[in-house]
Structure 1
Amino acid sequence: MTDSADRLESDVPADPAAGASSPAPPTPRQLALRDAVRDIERHMAARGWDGPIGVFALVRTADAVAATPALAEELPEGTLAVAQEDPEHLTSIEQDGLPQAETVEELLAQLGWPEQVDGAAVVLERIIVPPEAEQGLPDDPHEALDALMAHPERQDVRMAAGVLRTGESWCALRTRANDNDDAVGGSPDAVPGLVAALRATLQTES
């Protein structure tokens, strides 16, 4: 019923003086995915909290416009110019009419993408509580959820994750307690289970 991010890293590289080696610089493709996931999270954040799960297809903007020139007229102002400078730039397409599912895992297991789709992203909200909060919860799921919702140390977290067919991933996380664009954390593997479930959707074509 509760999920937790295994690790939440900032975008600041490790300090070599602290004994850790500096990570390899991100590739243009990794940067494009990071920017796309951040944009999707901000888009969902603008709708407010307590929203439904959002699922998005990711396509390379330049390739999509080359295949469908009319798409250029539907892009936000300035996007085409950016894509002409950066062939890795990604456009997200929100999916309507998602299949019915009790959990995000069940939902993602029903999805598949045509080969023209370069990646996928999902956004959802979760309640995070300390592990000890799950001890002694009522057996009834609704009563258990009410108990978690009332827990004084609960945290509401919005998780956005995106993956590409070529293997890159990025996750962005925002808490309701720090609901500010500048306070959104992220890393490639902040929510590994969500990343793995998304990758599986790209292995099945619709």
Structure 2
Amino acid sequence: MEDPLLATAVTEAEQFAAGAGWDRPAQLFALVATAELLADQPDMAGHLDATSHYTPIAQEELPEGELSEALANIAWPAAVVGCIVVQEIVVLPPSAEGELSQDATEAAEQAAAHPERTEARLAVGVLRSGGAACLMRLRGEHEETPLRGADLAPNLVEALSLTFED
């Protein structure tokens, strides 16, 4: 089950990323407790929604290459209670899986060129204490109705969760 407070933060991060348009690199956000952020930095009060439980903070651009490799090198300070990644993906119908190469690079190229592909923006968030939320916005005619659920991207949820392990 999706954590509703985290789901709100995931939506905020996805909307922020969407403001830059499509065809963008993956973006990483640190999640901090809004009340703690405002207590530490009261001058931010005019810039934050004090009613939000979490505030997503955009991080520096991720290095080029595999997202999993970039995430494997991340460690968060104690003040970070969660994180979110927003990335663009290609979604294929289940019937296309058998057509893809076993080589990951080649499979990605095949998926990008597949006639039945759908491009999407995937936002996945996790909390240090456990819990996940995911949002997937399909590009095109269904853009206004994103898909939601904690289990949309289990591998990415696991990779993000690992960034909080010692």
- 5 Å-filtered alignment, 1:20-99, equals 30-73=3-46, 75-76=47-48, 79-80=49-50, 82-83=51-52, 89-98=53-62
- Residue 201 of structure 1: aligned partner: 163
Q: Is the 2:9–2:56 contact (alpha carbons within 8 Å) kept by the matching residues of 1?
A: yes
Cα distance in 2 for partners of 1:146, 1:166 equals 37
Cα distance in 1 for partners of 2:104, 2:131 equals 36
Q: Which stretches in structure 2 are left out of the alignment for 5+ residues?
A: none
- Aligned residue pair count: 166
- Residue 159 of structure 1: aligned partner: 122
Q: Which has the larger radius of gyration?
A: 1
- Residue 115 of structure 1: aligned partner: 78
1:160-186 Cα shifts (integer Å, max 9, x gaps):
0001111111000111133533x1111
Aligned CA distance change for structure 1 residues 36 and 139 (closer, same or farther; 3 Å):
closer
Q: Which stretches in structure 1 are left out of the alignment for 5+ residues?
A: 1-22, 84-88
Cα distance in 2 for partners of 1:92, 1:143 equals 34
Query: What secondary structure does 1:111 align onto?
Result: coil
Cα distance in 1 for partners of 2:124, 2:61 equals 20
Query: TM (normalized to structure 1)?
Result: 0.71
Give the superposition deviation at 1:37. Answer: 0.4
Query: TM (normalized to structure 2)?
Result: 0.86
Query: What secondary structure does 1:40 align onto?
Result: helix
1:9-28 Cα shifts (integer Å, max 9, x gaps):
xxxxxxxxxxxxxx8xx7xx
Cα distance in 2 for partners of 1:31, 1:141 equals 34
Aligned CA distance change for structure 1 residues 180 and 127 (closer, same or farther; 3 Å):
closer
Cα distance in 2 for partners of 1:140, 1:169 equals 29
Give the superposition deviation at 1:126. Answer: 1.1
- Residue 20 of structure 1: aligned partner: none
The residue type paired with residue 45 of structure 1 is A
Query: Where do 4+ consecutive residues of structure 1 move more than 6 Å?
Result: 138-143
Aligned CA distance change for structure 1 residues 110 and 185 (closer, same or farther; 3 Å):
same
Query: What secondary structure does 2:56 align onto?
Result: strand
Cα distance in 2 for partners of 1:144, 1:118 equals 35
